[in-house]
């Protein structure tokens, strides 16, 4: 099973379309959206191609393939436009006999982890900075931001497949990676 992780679209139709073009190439079984779908929030600039209404329409075209969690910029009003559940604070996934705790990162995060078992995967968005590391018995992952990257990183998304997590830039180049032991 192949999972694609997209985080922090922040209403950018341009960057959502870029990510979905990559999804067409990557052919994931599921797309896991890690929050901040429609709005840019008060701390972020307007992203390229800002069009929250159209972003909702495009996401709805892929609703059967998306698993989603709520970001700090998402609200109940957004759920009225989006035809798949986005209001959960986390999703628990299982991949190749490994548990994945997926969240946005504004509640539980890499500095404040939920209860996990050794070798579990914790994945979040929120910081807009890619992470792929093993620390204190857990795999800590972040696909970065597709629309508003920070820390001089490019626009990125994540892939989990065959026991490996890859952060890829929009050209498909590998930015970070980690193998699950």
What pLDDT is recorded for position 44?
Answer: 83
According to CATH, the topology of domain 3-179 is: Purple Acid Phosphatase; chain A, domain 2 (3.60.21)
Say whether pLDDT at 131 is over 90.
yes
What pLDDT is recorded for position 169?
Answer: 98
In percent, the amount of the chain with pLDDT more than 90 equals 94
Orientation angle between helical segments 13-26 and 52-60, nearest 10 degrees:
20
Tell me how far apart the alpha carbons of residues 95 and 78 are, in angstroms, rounded to a whole number. 29
Q: What is the mean pLDDT of residues 37-45?
A: 88
Instruction: List alpha helices for the chain, DSSP H.
Output: 13-26, 52-60, 76-81
For 39-64, the three-class secondary structure string (H helix, E strand, C coil) is: CCCCCCCCCCCECHHHHHHHHHCCHH
Tell me how far apart the alpha carbons of residues 12 and 90 are, in angstroms, rounded to a whole number. 23
Tell me how far apart the alpha carbons of residues 75 and 40 are, in angstroms, rounded to a whole number. 12
Say whether pLDDT at 140 is over 90.
yes
Does the pTM surpass 0.95? The reply is: yes
Say whether pLDDT at 6 is over 90.
yes
The distance of Cα 113 from the centroid of its chain, to the nearest Å, equals: 17
Per-residue pLDDT band for 43 (boundaries 50, 70, 90) equals: confident
Tell me how far apart the alpha carbons of residues 63 and 56 are, in angstroms, rounded to a whole number. 10
What pLDDT is recorded for position 41?
Answer: 82
Instruction: List alpha helices for 50-138, DSSP H.
Output: 52-60, 76-81
Say whether pLDDT at 32 is over 90.
yes
Domain boundaries, the chain: 3-179
Q: What is the mean pLDDT of residues 141-166?
A: 97
- Residues 45-87: tens digit of each pLDDT: 899 999 999 999 999 999 999 999 999 999 999 999 999 999 9
């Amino acid at each position: 099973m192949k999972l694609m992780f997209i985080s922090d679209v922040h209403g950018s139709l341009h960057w959502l379309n870029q990510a979905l073009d990559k999804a067409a190439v990557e052919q994931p079984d599921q797309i896991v959206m890690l929050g901040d779908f429609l709005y840019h929030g008060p701390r972020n600039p307007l992203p390229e191609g800002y069009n929250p209404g159209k972003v909702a329409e495009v996401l709805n075209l892929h609703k059967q393939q998306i698993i989603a969690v709520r970001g700090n910029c998402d609200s109940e009003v957004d759920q009225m436009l989006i035809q798949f559940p986005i209001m959960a604070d986390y999703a628990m996934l299982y991949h190749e006999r490994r548990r994945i705790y997926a969240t946005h990162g504004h509640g539980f995060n890499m500095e404040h982890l939920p209860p996990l078992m050794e070798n579990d995967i914790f994945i979040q968005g929120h910081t807009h900075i890619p992470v792929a590391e093993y620390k204190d018995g857990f795999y800590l992952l972040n696909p970065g931001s597709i629309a508003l990257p920070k820390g001089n990183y490019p626009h990125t998304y994540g892939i989990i497949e065959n026991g490996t997590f890859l952060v890829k830039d929009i050209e498909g180049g590998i930015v970070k990676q980690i193998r699950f032991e």
